[in-house]
Homo-oligomer: A and B are copies of this chain.
């Protein structure tokens, strides 16, 4: 927590895939998506480019590994949290908020998640999230058919909504999470309010709903809607 903890990487440690992925996450967090370059990475790890390619096939694989590492932590963290000890519905909420928070903490995650899922759904990220959500949904006791559909809808909604609400500053978040976020949503709201009323008769009147606060509450309302649909089958 000290301002300048760990400056130069300890050169004594040997290079490994884990250390490379760890450095990549740190670089993404501090310098944004455009900050992750092999040159920046070699400097941070005080090594050569070829050394990284010995452990990692290419940049795409590195980004996939970084995404998976962060998602794995986010999904597993809340599974047995005290909050999920409540109703099954609370369990779904807990995992959803875990992913929501992870995207808020790592702005690059929204984009990478979307890239990962659309470009290589066969990768490790999709089943990990699916399992995290599905585990909670399973506790609600429905048929396999309803379970699969509900979990699919929840996963896509969570990733999409959290991604769209994430402040993506490209150079890491600037101030505290609350401050930035409120201004960001205000901006989007203002832009939606300036839409042509004739072309956007439905969207314009609800633009104010994005204003300022309670995007978490709105996010959870969507989850409740899906759960209600599941119960109604």
Contact = CB atoms under 8 A, between A and B. Distances in A.
A130 B200 CA distance: 9
A147 B230 contact: no
Contacts of A200: 127, 131
A162 to B, nearest CB: 9
A179 to B, nearest CB: 18
Given A127-B192, A144-B206, A150 B225 contact: yes
Say whether chain A's binding surface is mostly helix, strand, loop, or mixed: helix
A93 to B, nearest CB: 15
Given A115-B114, A118-B114, A118-B164, A227 B229 contact: yes
A195 interface: yes
A195 B127 contact: yes
A209 to B, nearest CB: 5
Contact of A110 (B118, B226, B232): B118
A109 to B, nearest CB: 9
Nearest to A168: B119
Contacts of A161: 152-153, 156
Contact of A156 (B126, B157, B191): B157
Nearest to A209: B148
Interface string A98-137: 0000000000001100110111011000110011001100
B228 A191 contact: no
Contact of A163 (B118, B127, B131, B201): B118
Contact of A226 (B126, B159, B195, B226): B226
A160 B156 contact: yes
A148 B207 CA distance: 10
Nearest to A123: B191
